[in-house]
Amino acid sequence: MDDGTLLLIQVGGLLFGMSVLARLASRIGLSPIPLYLLAGLAFGHGGLVPLSASEGVFEVGAEVGVILLLVMLGLEYSAPELIRSIRTSARAGVLDALLNALPGAAFALLLGWGPAAAVALAGVTWVSSSGVIAKLLRDLRRLGNRETPVIISILVIEDLAMAFYLPVLSALVIGAGLLHGATTLAVAVTAVLIILYLALRRGELISRLLTTKDAEALLLGVLGLTMLVAGMAEQVNVSAAVGAFLVGIAISGRIAHQATELLTPLRDVFAAVFFIFFGLVTDPREIVPVLLPALALVAVTAVTKVVTGYIAAARAGIGVPGRWRAGFGLVPRGEFSIVVASLAVGAGVEPRLAPLATAYVLMTVVLGPLLARLTETRRFKSAVARPPTR
Q: What is the rounded CA–CA span in Å between residue 283 and residue 46?
A: 5
Render pLDDT for 295-339 as a digit per residue (tens, 0 to 9): 999 999 999 999 999 999 999 889 899 999 999 999 999 878 888
**What residues contact 30, with CB distance under 8 A and at least 6 apart?**
365, 366, 369
CA angle 41, 364, 52 (to 5 degrees): 15
213 inside domain:
yes
pLDDT of the residue at 264? 86
DSSP 153-169: HHHHHHHHHHHHHHHHH
Look at the alpha carbons of 295, 300, 305, 310 in this order and tell me if their dihedral is positive or negative: positive
pLDDT of the residue at 200? 67
8 A C-beta contact, residue 106 and residue 301 = no
* Structural domains of the chain, count: 1
92 inside domain:
yes
5 inside domain:
no
pLDDT of the residue at 39? 84
Which ranges constitute the DSSP H helices of 44-147? Answer: 55-75, 79-110, 115-126, 130-139
386 inside domain:
no
Give the domain range for residue 210: 22-377
Task: Give the mean pLDDT of the chain.
Answer: 81
CATH of the domain at 296: 1.20.1530.20
What is the average per-residue pLDDT within 245-261?
80
What is the average per-residue pLDDT within 384-388?
62
Which ranges constitute the DSSP H helices of the chain? Answer: 3-28, 33-43, 55-75, 79-110, 115-126, 130-139, 148-173, 178-201, 203-208, 215-235, 240-250, 253-280, 291-315, 320-329, 335-346, 353-374, 378-384
pLDDT of the residue at 313? 92
What is the average per-residue pLDDT within 55-73?
77
225 inside domain:
yes
Which of the residue ranges 10-14, 185-189, 349-353 would you say has the lowest mean pLDDT?
Answer: 185-189
Q: What is the rounded CA–CA span in Å between residue 301 and residue 290?
A: 16
CA angle 135, 137, 138 (to 5 degrees): 65
Q: What is the rounded CA–CA span in Å between residue 282 and residue 58?
A: 14
pLDDT band at 100; cut points 50, 70, 90 = very high
Render pLDDT for 32-50 as a digit per residue (tens, 0 to 9): 888 888 888 888 766 667 6
Q: What is the rounded CA–CA span in Å between residue 70 and residue 166?
A: 13
pLDDT of the residue at 85? 65
Whether the pLDDT of residue 232 is over 90: the answer is: no
Which of 339, 260, 333, 345 is CA-nearest to residue 62?
A: 339
Whether the pLDDT of residue 96 is over 50: the answer is: yes
pLDDT of the residue at 180? 59
Q: How far is CA 130 from CA 88, 117, 287, 309, in A?
A: 19, 23, 25, 14
Q: What are phi and psi of 319, to 5 degrees?
A: -70, 170
Whether the pLDDT of residue 221 is over 80: the answer is: yes
3 inside domain:
no
pLDDT band at 204; cut points 50, 70, 90 = low
Q: What is the rounded CA–CA span in Å between residue 243 and residue 228?
A: 9
Residue of higher predicted confidence among 41 and 359: 359
pLDDT of the residue at 278? 77
pLDDT band at 390; cut points 50, 70, 90 = very low
Whether the pLDDT of residue 176 is over 70: the answer is: no
270 inside domain:
yes
Q: What is the rounded CA–CA span in Å between residue 198 and residue 225?
A: 14
12 inside domain:
no
